[in-house]
Every structure is written in C-alpha cells, then in structure tokens.
Chain A
C-alpha cells in the first residue's frame, strides 16, 4: 500500500507500517460487504476512515459498486403462458399435499407445573453437559502436551530466523499469494498441506517460498483483524535444529516471542508448522489446540 499513502502521512517505522498493511489487507477483504451495507456499524466506520487514505481500496470499492449496479439492472426472464400452463397441469396431476395446520398456541395449554419440569430438565441437561465437558477437558489435556519455550535465542535457529525474516516481508507488503490457489501450492511442494481449522481463522492467501533454502508453503489467515501466517515445511527441515526437537518433545508446543510477535511451532505427521503473528501467544496456542482436537 506504500504507493497509496496520503501526502500528509509521514514515514512511519517498519512495525507501524506492518500493522497498517495488515489492517489494509483485512479491511480490503470486507469491501464487498461494505458496499452491500452488510457490516456492523463499528466495522463500517473503520472502513470509512480507511478509505480516506487508501486509493487502492477506493478503486476496489468502485469495482464492487459498478458490478453490482450493472447486475441489478439485469431483467428477469418472462415466463411464457405456455410454461405457466404446463406448470398448472403438472400441479393438477398431483394430489394436494397434506398440510397440518396447528391452531395458535395458547399459553394456558401449558401448565405451570409443566413449565417447572421443563426448566428443571433444562438445568439437569446443562449440568450433565457441564460434567461431560469437564471430563472431555481432562481427556483433551491427556491428548495435548503443554507449551514449552524454546531454550535458545530464536535467531540462532535457522528455521525460525527464516520464518521471522519472511514474516517481516509479508507483513510489510502485499500478500504475494492473493491468488489463494491452494491447489497450486499443494502441487508445488512434496508434503501435504491442510489449512488450519480454527473457526475464527480465515484463509486469505497461499503461496510458496524458501526458508534458508528449504521449500515452504505459506498460508496467510485473518484472525479477527490481525494477520497470522502459517509456514509449513517438510518434517526433516522442521526437526533439524536440536532446540526445536527439544521444545516439541512429548507433544509439547514450541513457543517463542519477539516483542509483540508470537511464534508457536509443532510437528504433524509428515510436516512441521510454524505459526507467527502479532497477536498474544494465547491465541496461537488456542489454534494449536483446535488442530489437535481435529
């Protein structure tokens, strides 16, 4: 977005630029819904403010408006009398469906006693569910290891250093893979690629890169209004560094942070994932938990 800065904008530091760019990408994805007035007021206000300083988003909004305006002018087809007659004949040939019409519900039909029992049954159900969830939670804890901070400085681990360098570049500029062609990425690497499953994540881009000479698949997600990037590498590349092996031993989640930037990493069947974003580590850990539960 650097070519779209307002002339009044002074050059911010790289971290601010990165935040601004990731915000631009997130808001850009919402422009269609903005044009259709389908967004809540607070998001609409954010986009209103963003549009003032972003030429690219203003242009994209014009594309949405232009297309929508033209399609809205598309006339409906005219159903011919012959088709209407055919439909009427077809319906005549079928016995009328049986539709049971219930009389309007009367409050007195349900006694206070029944209401009481329904309420109790609801509470009991909720209690049973709570117990079941607690038991499931214990089982989940058994399936998940804990988290473990990496023991050596991040920049001394080639994989993580490469990821951080690449993330800096991604966060500072356009997402290189806006084509979001996951199948092309899958075809380009030798290991399986599956996007993360967490409900609050939305895949916004996919491409390939190299991390210190190792091929990697990169999947960029929107997490609320932040950018989170997943780097997938082959398992041999993932396990190369002893510090990584030590951190993920016993099904643990490798964690690390640099300033506000959080990193987590974990191995899968034949790949390793490094997830990075300017979000609290807790959010990345929750994503990992969702993956494990899947």
Chain B
C-alpha cells in the first residue's frame, strides 16, 4: 500500500483560494441569470463555495477546478429551485423555431446582426430566460463562460452529442426569442402611437 500524508490545512486553504475563488465573478453571473434576485444568486455562490471547500479532496486535478466548481453551483441552484418550488415558465418552442425559420427565409439577416449587436445585457438575459433551461445552460456555458463541449458534457452530465444538439438548437431558439421580443416591442410601440392618436382625436372632438 502506498503511503499518503495529509495536506496541511493552511496550504490547502491557499490552494483552494488560488484555484477556485478566481472564478467567482463568472459563477455569480451564471447564478444571477438563474435566480430571482442578486441576493439569491449570492447565497447560491456562497453555498457552492462551502460545498466546494468541504469536497475539495475530491478535486484530483487543479486544472479541472472551473468545471468542477460549475457542477457544484448547478447542484446548489437546482436544490434551491426545488426548495422554492419554482418552475420555469413554459415557452412556446414551436413559435420560437418558426420565428427563427422566418429569419432564414427572409432577406433581413443584416438587420438581425444589428438587432443582436444593440441588445443590452438585460435583453440578453430576458431572451435566455425565454428558452428552456437545458438549452440556455448549454449555450451560456459555451458562449459566455467559454467551456468546450467536452467540459459542458461533464458539467451537465450528458453525452457530448446532447451538448452539441442543445447548443445548436438553443441558439436557434434564442434567435427566435430575440426576434419575437423585438416584434412584440414594435407592436407595443404601435399600440402606444395608436392610443396617442385616439386620445388626440378624442380631444379634438370635444
């Protein structure tokens, strides 16, 4: 049997802070997109840190700290969701896919890039919240957090083919959600103009 020794606790804490804590900002952003409030997201990140510290012995390779930490955070967020009984609002996937397909069939792809480029973070988060959680998670882990497909497969616990499919379909749904929101916004603006015109007309008739 091979002899082992215990890592001194001071060294261990220093190593934890060096390999885990640098990822806090990204993890907090990931948690914010999945929480009702920043305070809830901060609680989740704190809980993830505690669980990571308790299970630090399980991390065999410091190079894998980031995906390992995300996996823990996902579990914490999932636990919190179960506890609060929150359920994601059902989205009309078919509608989003049809909107995406209209985009491909139309002549307005240049306009789409402009629309997307002008989106602020709040609009991006709203669009991500419109699509199913599994798709949004895969897309975010790749496009925002910069993970490779193989790492996402490890974090989410699904085969890499599923990751590939979720990212491809997630982006299509996201495009559909962005366009649908833009249309709804345009419709709202038209309604405001109509109401204004009607009010003016009523005023004129008095």
Contact = CB atoms under 8 A, between A and B. Distances in A.
A75 B29 CA distance: 8
A4 to B, nearest CB: 10
Given A66-B113, A67-B143, A74 B29 contact: yes
A109 B2 contact: yes
A232 B50 CA distance: 51
Nearest to B128: A71
B56 A94 contact: no
B117 A29 contact: no
Contacts of A184: 94
B143 A101 contact: no
B171 interface: yes
Given A83-B42, A98-B57, A103-B3, A63 B100 contact: yes
Interface in B117-131: 117, 119, 121, 124
A87 B46 contact: yes
A77 B40 CA distance: 14
Interface residues of B, number: 62
B171 A70 contact: no
A202 B12 CA distance: 45
B7 interface: yes
Nearest to B115: A66
Interface stretch (B72-80, B161-169, B197-205): B161-169
A186 to B, nearest CB: 15
Interface in A1-60: 29-33, 36, 38, 56, 59-60
Contacts of A66: 112-113, 116-117, 175
A95 B149 CA distance: 36
Contact of B2 (A33, A94, A102): A102
B183 interface: no
Contacts of B148: 38
Contacts of A56: 104
Interface in A126-140: none
Interface of A: 29-33, 36, 38, 56, 59-60, 62-64, 66-72, 74-80, 83-84, 86-87, 90-91, 94, 96-103, 105, 109, 178-179, 181, 184, 202
25 contacts: A29-B168, A30-B164, A32-B167, A62-B112, A63-B175, A66-B175, A67-B139, A67-B143, A70-B117, A75-B29, A76-B28, A79-B24, A79-B25, A83-B24, A86-B42, A87-B49, A91-B53, A94-B53, A96-B13, A98-B57, A99-B57, A100-B4, A103-B5, A178-B97, A179-B98
